[in-house]
Amino acid sequence: MAPSPTYAFSRALWGRALRAAKRVRVLRLAAFVLLAIAGTTSARADEFSTLLSDLASSSFADKERAVIALGRLGDERAVGVMTALKDGRLIKAPDGRILVSDATRLTDPVTGADVSGVAGDTADRIRVNNRLRGAIEGALGELTLFSSDPAARLAAAQDALRHPFADQAARLEKGIAAEKDPAIRAAMEQSLLASRLFAGTSAEKLAAVRALGTTTDPQIKNLLDQFRAAPETDPDLRQAADAALGSIQNRLRLVGLAASLFEGISLGSILLLAAIGLAITFGVMGVINMAHGEMIMLGAYAAYVCQQLFRSFLPPAWIDGYLVLAVPVAFLFTGAVGVALERSVIRFLYGRPLETLLATWGVSLILQQAVRSIFGSPNREVSNPTWMTGGFDPIGGFTITWNRLVIILFCLIVLGALALILNRTRFGLHMRAVTQNRPMASVMGIPSARIDALTFGLGSGIAGMAGVALSQIGNVSPNLGTIYIVDSFLVVVFGGVGNLMGTLVGALSLGIVNKFLEPVAGAILGKIVVLVAIILFIQRRPRGLFALRGRTAEAGA
Amino acid sequence: MVSAYHSTLRKSAWSPGFWARFIACGVVLGVVIPAINLWIPSNSAAALPDYLIPLLGKYLCYALLALSLDLIWGYAGILSLGHGAFFALGGYCMGMYLMRQIGTRGVYGNPLLPDFMVFLNWQKLPWFWWGFDHFAWAAAMVILVPGLLALVFGWLAFRSRVTGVYLSIITQAMTYALMLAFFRNDMGFGGNNGMTDYKDILGWDVHQPATRLGLYVASVAALGLGYLLCRFITSSKLGRILLALRDAESRVRFLGYSVTNAKLFVFTVSAVLAGIAGALYVPQVGIINPSEFSPGNSIEVAIWVSVGGRGTLSGAIVGAILVNAAKTWLTGAAPETWLFVLGALFVTTTLVFPRGIVGLLREARWTRLRAPAPVPAGEQA
């Protein structure tokens, strides 16, 4: 069954509306007192006062009737009274008046005026029990269903779902007829269906059960569970409820799968960005660059510096553009660092991979400490530009955030550009020639030393761009690189050295497997399982998934 | 002919000169230093305060760890970036014994369960903690756990000819996986807090200076024996095979030697040595926690070996002690410079003097021996 788009939309709005509704509730009491002063018709006022005095009745059944009647009245002053009653702040003065007590003062709910001269200890607190509390919440929900504030209406619609009172259906129907906002109407419709489960003709119940089977809301699932378990439900309806629950279950499973898949692709794209540069330097030059993680870190700091420059020197409206500048800046800066590193250290160590490993580890320590000395060790915050904040909910139940989506796209662009450079440019041709047979390439006149420096610069520059991407999903700190270095190496080794396709497949499969294992085994155990699996995999295929074959490949590693 | 060559090698490895140097070093480390600590009054300038003894002991444990790495890296060309894992496993076995010795003196006073298990609501002692109240069992585990892990890991890796960088990376993945595992609270090893607050070892209070001196002397003995074992291995026929496979693995294989078995043997021995080092380390520093498994620690061991001189057993010991002494001094005097210094050490040792300190000294001695004898002045003209 196709997911209902209106429902998905309403889910996205609810979170925001709920937060607004909380704020609204605090202000509500004061607002209603003012409204009351402004005056309502006297007939309604009379009925209001009568019901108010019924609240002080000694029988809980009478109180409950009064509460329900007050809720139906639609008088907005009743909200303050109900809230006070629920919190135990409604008192009966010795002269019979019902008053709302705050911490500092007493108010007459009918007129909204302050009352003095009633001693606190002469008044009786009007007591409530749990049944009454339920009725109060239902009544409050109904009252706010017609509030002028959309956030309050939405909150009421959701409250109605939480307490599906039997006699709510009519009120919700009225609410739906009056409602103009489609999101709120969808929420109300949902609640209406829920209340029909508990009050309605068999046909209505059946229709409600069927319609509710298309959601992924855990609350509705609970309601359906209750409905199914209730002894008065007849077998036909129970069967329909089973079917609806089954379909909710399937839908939840689907949402879970989709969420895992998206998270996996997102993690995979991050791993891929982190590992591409490494794949180039490792594959082409046989260099184990342990400082690769620090190149990522430098890229992230480049993004931070760009952001700070925009903040201090450019008009605030331009701030969203810093990221556009940060990508080339990070690429050029880390690329330059990479070339410098190759010229000063690595070129002396060709053919000795284990020693480059140690030397570049040393470089990584120096870079980390240098950044720590310049920027300090606390995390630096790089904020998302506004066009990358938030997200959308495609099928209901999980959110695709814009920043992760942009990173996936960015990663594809980088990969595509790199493939173009490798296959369509002269530099790429030279690079591939050097990878395949270094001495022969030199003989053919390819300046292999220059190619090495440029290749290393390219790999480092890509790491820098990965750093910009990472700055968008987490904090920037001097040890950002160490988090990714082990993973990037595993991606490269798993995928096979010197092969972009291998790196792509390696990164994506590691990311997805990791995220699919997480719900089953937990985040850390899942990661351990993946590590062990890679260790075992390398026993089977010591050169990775897509291995280069031939004599030079053997000798190179 | 080969065997004749061999016997000369063996003779030179165990010459009286070697024994004299070895015993001299042993006496200085194992007798003179304790004697200074015990008998020179603390107000004298030559005194060795009590707090330095566990520090020196710690350096010796690091030296044994470096020695174990040098055995496989310097001689067999296997750069393990996960040797810290074997060290930490040995340490955890000892830590478990020490935890069981606390008995009812813990914060919760539970006679059976260590404090962290009471805290995490464990009802009974998990099976892998059985027997750790006996020192003999713990000591056996110190050898067996790292040894078995190395045996299985090595068998898998060497059998399928995972070599060079690939081996380095999967050993790093191994220690990383173990670190993540030991950080979990429900593993039953104290989670990220690790194990600490030890009371006594074999009935002696671990905080007493005398016990600490005993542990120090035990570390000297372990290092000495470990050194002799490594020297025995490297000067044997197996040692020659290791050197050969380091330089041309395929050729050794084609000559009919079992490269896999040779590597597996030396890798396992090395892991056991690392485990013993870890076991002696824990009571002297008083804590073991999962950060000992961190990949950075294991790489640091490689730099100790490099600085001292890989492929020379004494170099590993010298390097470990020098680098760690420098670390202690610098992290106290100017903490922010330590990483710069360590990083520079990594770069310069690999670039400028890849043979390390001991290598440089030997080179100097060789050139002196080889230099033509100066012609006596009288014979000129």
| pLDDT tens digits, one per residue of B52-90 | 999 999 999 999 999 999 999 999 999 999 999 999 999
- Could you report the per-residue pLDDT of A284-326, keeping only the tens digit for each? 777 888 899 999 999 999 999 999 999 988 888 888 889 899 9
Cα three-residue angle A295-A301-A303, rounded to 5 degrees: 110
| Partners of residue A556 in chain B, C-beta under 8 Å | none
Residue A192 inside a domain? The answer is yes
pLDDT of residue A10: 46
A193 and A263 assigned to the same domain: no
Mean pLDDT value of segment B258-274: 96
Q: Which of B79, B180, B350 sits opposite A359 (nearest CB)?
A: B350
Cα pseudo-dihedral A171, A172, A176, A182, rounded to 10:
150
A281 and A225 assigned to the same domain: no
A178 and A260 assigned to the same domain: no
| Partners of residue A490 in chain B, C-beta under 8 Å | 169, 173
Q: Which residue of B has its CA nearest to A524?
A: B180
pLDDT of residue A557: 38
| Partners of residue A524 in chain B, C-beta under 8 Å | 180-181, 183-184
Q: How close is the nearest chain A Cα to the Cα of B241, in Å? A: 21
pLDDT of residue A27: 52
pLDDT of residue B330: 92
Mean pLDDT value of segment B296-316: 92
Q: How close is the nearest chain B Cα to the Cα of A334, in Å? A: 19
Cα three-residue angle A159-A160-A165, rounded to 5 degrees: 135
Mean pLDDT value of segment B190-212: 89
Looking at every residue in chain B, the average pLDDT score rounds to 90
Q: How close is the nearest chain A Cα to the Cα of B294, in Å? A: 11
A219 and A310 assigned to the same domain: no
Task: Tell me, yes or no, if B152 comes closer than 8 A to chain A by beta carbon.
Answer: no
Q: How many CB atoms lie within 10 A of CB A540?
A: 8
Q: Does residue A195 carry a pLDDT above 60?
A: yes
Mutation target for B interface from A285, A367, A534, A539: give the one with most B CBs within 10 A.
Answer: A539
What is the number of structural domains in chain A?
2
pLDDT of residue A294: 94
**Which residue is listed with tokens 């009647």?**
A69
Q: How close is the nearest chain A Cα to the Cα of B358, in Å? A: 18
Specify whether the CB–CB gap between A345 and B351 falls below 8 A: yes
| Partners of residue B170 in chain A, C-beta under 8 Å | 493, 534-535, 538
Q: Does residue B254 carry a pLDDT above 90?
A: yes
Contact B166/A355, CB-based, under 8 Å? no
Mutation target for B interface from A294, A350, A524, A535: give the one with most B CBs within 10 A.
Answer: A535
A227 and A259 assigned to the same domain: no
Distances (CA, A) of A427 to A347, A423, A436: 19, 9, 14
Q: Please state, for a pLDDT cut of 70, what percent of chain A lies above it.
A: 84
Specify whether the CB–CB gap between B88 and B178 falls below 8 A: yes
| Partners of residue A374 in chain B, C-beta under 8 Å | none
Q: Does residue A22 carry a pLDDT above 70?
A: no
A295 and A165 assigned to the same domain: no
Contact A359/B342, CB-based, under 8 Å? no
- Whether the predicted model's global pTM rises above the 0.90 cut: no
Q: Does residue A556 carry a pLDDT above 50?
A: no
A223 and A262 assigned to the same domain: no
Please report the ipTM that was assigned to this predicted complex. 0.85
A144 and A190 assigned to the same domain: yes
Mean pLDDT value of segment A438-449: 90
Confidence of residue A5 (pLDDT cuts 50, 70, 90): very low
Q: Please state, for a pLDDT cut of 90, what percent of chain B lies above it.
A: 61
Q: Looking at per-residue confidence, does B55 or A52 come out higher?
A: B55
Q: How many CB atoms lie within 10 A of CB B74?
A: 27
Q: In CATH, what number is assigned to the domain containing residue A331? A: 1.10.3470
- Could you report the per-residue pLDDT of A148-194, keeping only the tens digit for each? 677 777 777 777 776 665 566 777 777 777 777 777 787 777 777 77
Contact A486/B173, CB-based, under 8 Å? yes
Q: How close is the nearest chain A Cα to the Cα of B227, in Å? A: 25
Residue A113 inside a domain? The answer is yes
pLDDT of residue A16: 53
Q: How close is the nearest chain A Cα to the Cα of B77, in Å? A: 9
Residue A463 inside a domain? The answer is yes
Residue A120 inside a domain? The answer is yes
Mutation target for B interface from A281, A343, A357, A374: give the one with most B CBs within 10 A.
Answer: A357
Q: How many CB atoms lie within 10 A of CB A347?
A: 15
Contact B306/A359, CB-based, under 8 Å? no
Mean pLDDT value of segment B22-42: 91
Chain center to CA of B76: 17
Residue A240 inside a domain? The answer is no
Q: Looking at per-residue confidence, does A330 or A210 come out higher?
A: A330
pLDDT of residue A28: 55
Residue A68 inside a domain? The answer is yes
Which amino acid appears at position B330 of this protein? L
Contact A493/B169, CB-based, under 8 Å? yes
pLDDT of residue B4: 63
Mutation target for A interface from B350, B352, B355: give the one with most A CBs within 10 A.
Answer: B350
| Partners of residue B189 in chain A, C-beta under 8 Å | none
Contact B168/A557, CB-based, under 8 Å? no
A330 and A189 assigned to the same domain: no
| Partners of residue A359 in chain B, C-beta under 8 Å | 346-347, 350-351
pLDDT of residue B327: 93
Mean pLDDT value of segment B252-273: 95
Domain that holds residue A10: 5-233
A203 and A316 assigned to the same domain: no
Three-class SS state of A108? coil
| Partners of residue B347 in chain A, C-beta under 8 Å | 345, 359, 362-363, 366
Number of residues in chain B: 381
Mean pLDDT value of segment A218-240: 77
Looking at every residue in chain A, the average pLDDT score rounds to 80
CA distance A479 to A380: 12
Q: Which of A354, A364, A539 sits opposite B156 (nearest CB)?
A: A539
Specify whether the CB–CB gap between B61 and B217 falls below 8 A: no
Number of residues in chain A: 557
A416 and A358 assigned to the same domain: yes
Specify whether the CB–CB gap between B98 and B203 falls below 8 A: no
CA distance A522 to A510: 16
Residues in contact with A520: Cβ distance below 8 Å, sequence separation at least 6, in sequence order: A526
Q: Looking at per-residue confidence, does A356 or A225 come out higher?
A: A356
- Could you report the per-residue pLDDT of A114-146, keeping only the tens digit for each? 777 666 666 777 888 888 887 787 777 767 777
pLDDT of residue A327: 94
Confidence of residue A341 (pLDDT cuts 50, 70, 90): very high
Specify whether the CB–CB gap between A164 and A198 falls below 8 A: yes
| Partners of residue A540 in chain B, C-beta under 8 Å | 160
Q: Looking at per-residue confidence, does A395 or A441 come out higher?
A: A441
Residue A249 inside a domain? The answer is no
A223 and A269 assigned to the same domain: no
pLDDT of residue A7: 46
Q: Looking at per-residue confidence, does B139 or A126 come out higher?
A: B139
Confidence of residue A554 (pLDDT cuts 50, 70, 90): very low
| Partners of residue B299 in chain A, C-beta under 8 Å | 290, 358, 361
pLDDT of residue A162: 67
Q: Which residue of A has its CA nearest to B170?
A: A535
pLDDT of residue A38: 47
Scored b (16 or more CB within 10 A) or e, A434-453 reads bbbebeebeeeebebeebbb
Q: Does residue A462 carry a pLDDT above 90?
A: yes
User: Among the listed ranges A41-50, A229-238, A303-312, B57-66, which one has the minimum average pLDDT value?
Assistant: A41-50
Mean pLDDT value of segment B330-345: 90
pLDDT of residue B3: 58
Confidence of residue A521 (pLDDT cuts 50, 70, 90): confident
CA distance B147 to B43: 46
Residue A30 inside a domain? The answer is yes
